[in-house]
Structure 1
Amino acid sequence: MTTSQPPVIHDDCICESATWNQNGVTVAGWNGRGSSLNQLDEPLGLFVDEDAAVYVAGTLNFRVVKWASGASSDQVIAGGNGEGNQNNQMKYATKIIIDKNGTIFICDHMNMRVQRWFKNDDHGQTIIENISCWGLTLDKEKLLYVSDWKKRRITKRPSEQITAGGNGQGSALNQLFYPCDVFLDQDQSIFVADDGNQRIIK
C-alpha cells in the first residue's frame, strides 16, 4: 500500500509543485500606444486587487486606470487631466499601490512627490514632497516605504526613518545606487531593486 504525500503549501498559498502557463493572456491594453480608454502609453506601475482588477499607471497618459477582470476598456481613477503638477494631475507616475480601502498611493516621479487619492475622489493629496520617488509599498500597519532614487535610500513614512541605504552612493551592503523599487515580505524584510548596482538586496 502506498500513500501520497499532501502538497507542500507555503505562506504565500502557492503549492511547492505549482507550474505556470508558458503563454500569457493580455488583460489590459494591446490596442497600440495611445490615450483612448482601451490603450496604454508606457505602463510602468501595476497593481492587482483581490477581485483580479488590474490598476495601471499610464506614465505618458498621466493617469491611473482600472481594468476590471474581462473588461475591454479601462476606467480613469486618478489623473487624466493632462501633464502637470496640480492635485488632479501627475507627471511620469512610476509606481502605485492600493490599500484595502481603495486608497491609491502614487509615485509622481517628475513632480517629486507621493500622492494619496482616496477612493472616488477627483484629486489627490501630496503626502510627501521633494522626493525622487520611483517605488513604494505598504507594510502590515499601512505605513509607507518609499525608494528615494536620488538620495540612494529607502525611508519609512511618516517617520522618515531610513530603513535601507542612506550611506551615499556605492556598492557596499549598506549602500544603494538608484534604488528603483522596494518590496516587503511577510516577515517585514525589505527587498530593494538596486538598479545602479545590478542587484536585488535584502
Structure 2
Amino acid sequence: MNNRVGVDESVEVNSNTTGSRTLYEHFRKRKFIWIISSIILIAVIIAVPTIIITGNNNEMEKASTVTEMLTTTEITTQITTSTTTTKSKQILPPVIINNNTKWKQNAVTVAGGNGQGSELNQLNWPVGIYVDDDDQSIYIVDSLNHRIVRWELDAKNGEIVAGGNERGKDIDQLDNPMDIILNKEKKYLIICDANNRRVMRWSRQNIDDQEILIPDIICWSLAIDNNGDLYIADMQSNLVRRFQQGDMVGIVVAGRHGTGNQLDQLDRPRSIFVDEYYSVYIADYFNNRVMKWLKYAAEGSIIAPGHASNENPNPLGSLISLTVDHMGNIYVSNWDNHQIMRWSPGAIEGTPVAGEKQSGSGSMQFMNPQDLSFDRQGNLYVVDKDNHRIQKFTIDLD
C-alpha cells in the first residue's frame, strides 16, 4: 500500500515540477527579451548623440577646412601683395648723378619755412640733415631748439625724436647739436652734441633710450662707411677718426701732424664724406680747401679748389658742407655766394647748380646754406639756415 501511495505521490510531484519548469522557461525568455530590448534601447540612446556629434564634427571639419582654405588664400594674397609692393619699390633704381646732372631751380620747402620758432612746424637755425629713403623722411638738426626732428616728406609738421628738453647737459638734453646720421641698421640716431663735447646715441624706437657713445670730443660732422664704422670730424684736435663698434678711442684716418696747411694737416675739419672705397673727403674750413684721404694714406690730396688766381684768390669761399656724387664730383655750400657749387675732379673753378648769388627767401635763393644731401632718386636737399627751412631741388630728367 505504501508503495502505491508512493507511486501516486511521485507522479503528482513530477507534474508540479514540469509546470514550474515551463513557467521558469517563460519568465527566462521574457527576461532575455527584456535584457535584449534594454541593450538595444541603451545602444540607441548612445548612438543618436554620437551620430549628431559626428555630424557636427563633420560640419565643423568642413567649416575648418573652408576657414583654412580662406586663411591660406588670404595669407597667400598678403604675401603676394607684399612681394608685389616690395618689387614695385625696387623697380626704380638709384639715379646716377654726374657732372651733367641738373636740378629744377624752383625749390620746394619740405620742412620749416614758417618763420623762426620752436613749434613743430618751425625750425630755429637748422644746420644738418639726414635723408632716409627707406621711410621717406628727413632728420633735421634743429640747433637752437636743441633737438632733432623727423619730418616726413609732404608733412606739415615734424616730430621730436631726440632732445627738445631745453638746452642742457643731462642725458636727455642736447646743447647746440651740429650733425645727425643713422647707424647702419638704422636702429639708432648718432648725434654730434657739440657744446656738450660728446657724441650721443639715441634709439629710434624709444625716445627715452639714449647713451653717450663718445665722450670728450668736439664733434662737427659724422659719416658711416659700408662696414658700419663711424667717422667723426674732431674740430679741436683737427683730426678725423674712425670708430668701430664699442671703440671709444678711434683710429686717426686724416690729419696726423697737428694744425696746419700741409698735406698731412688740417685746420678745422668742418664736414666729412666717406665713399664706397673708404676714402674720406674733408671740408678743411680755415684752409679753404677740400681734401681727399685714401684709405691708409699718410697724407691727403687737394681736390678743390684746384688752383687760385689773382682775380679769385679764394674760389671756394667760406666752406661749410660737402657731399660727393657717384662720379667723384664734389658739391659744396658756403657763406659767401649763397649757392651750391659743383667741383669736378681737377677743375679750376666750380659750377653753380642751385641758388642765386643774391641771398634772399625766394624759391631760388638761400640765406647761409649749410648741409646738403641727395636722395636715392637724385633730388638735392639743402639746409637753408637763416630762412629756417629745408629746400628740395627736384632732379631735372628732361
Structure 1 length-normalised TM: 0.90
The residue that corresponds to 2:162 in the other structure is 78
Greater per-residue helix proportion: 2
Structure 1 CA distance, aligned partners of 2:169 and 2:209?
A: 11
| Cα displacement (A) at 1:91 | 0.2
The one-letter code of the counterpart of 2:289 is: R
1:106 aligns with 2:191: yes
Greater per-residue strand proportion: 1
Structure 1 CA distance, aligned partners of 2:256 and 2:117?
A: 39
Structure 2 CA distance, aligned partners of 1:182 and 1:125?
A: 23
1:36 aligns with 2:126: no
Counterpart secondary structure, 1:196: coil
Q: Tell whether the 8 Å contact from 1:79 to 1:123 is kept in structure 2 after alignment.
A: no
1:177 aligns with 2:259: no
1:139 aligns with 2:225: yes
CA gap 1:12/1:92 in 2 versus in 1, 3 angstroms: same
CA gap 1:15/1:41 in 2 versus in 1, 3 angstroms: closer
1:92 aligns with 2:176: yes
1:19 aligns with 2:102: yes
1:152 aligns with 2:238: yes
Structure 2 CA distance, aligned partners of 1:63 and 1:15?
A: 32
RMSD, aligned α-carbons: 1.5
Cα deviation 1:105-145 (Å, max 9, x = unaligned): 00000000000011122242101111011001111111110
Cα deviation 1:39-76 (Å, max 9, x = unaligned): 00010110110133111010000100011011000000
* Structure 2: tracts of 5 or more residues without a match: 1-92, 293-398
Structure 1 CA distance, aligned partners of 2:119 and 2:262?
A: 45
Q: Tell whether the 8 Å contact from 1:151 to 1:166 is kept in structure 2 after alignment.
A: no
Structure 2 length-normalised TM: 0.47
Structure 1 CA distance, aligned partners of 2:213 and 2:269?
A: 20
Counterpart secondary structure, 1:26: strand
| Cα displacement (A) at 1:166 | 2.7
The one-letter code of the counterpart of 1:66 is: R
The residue that corresponds to 2:387 in the other structure is none
Counterpart secondary structure, 2:195: helix
| Cα displacement (A) at 1:12 | 6.6
Which of 197, 203, 210 lines up with 1:118 in the alignment?
203
The residue that corresponds to 2:216 in the other structure is 130
Give the number of the structure whose alpha-carbon radius of gyration is greater.
2
RCO higher in structure (CA 8 A, sep ≥6)? 2
Cα deviation 1:82-114 (Å, max 9, x = unaligned): 100111100010000013323100000000000
| Cα displacement (A) at 1:15 | 5.2
Q: Tell whether the 8 Å contact from 1:64 to 1:77 is kept in structure 2 after alignment.
A: yes
Percent identical across equivalent pairs? 37
The one-letter code of the counterpart of 1:131 is: I
The one-letter code of the counterpart of 2:236 is: K
* Structure 1: tracts of 5 or more residues without a match: 1-10
The one-letter code of the counterpart of 1:182 is: I
State the number of aligned residues. 192
Structure 1 CA distance, aligned partners of 2:110 and 2:259?
A: 38
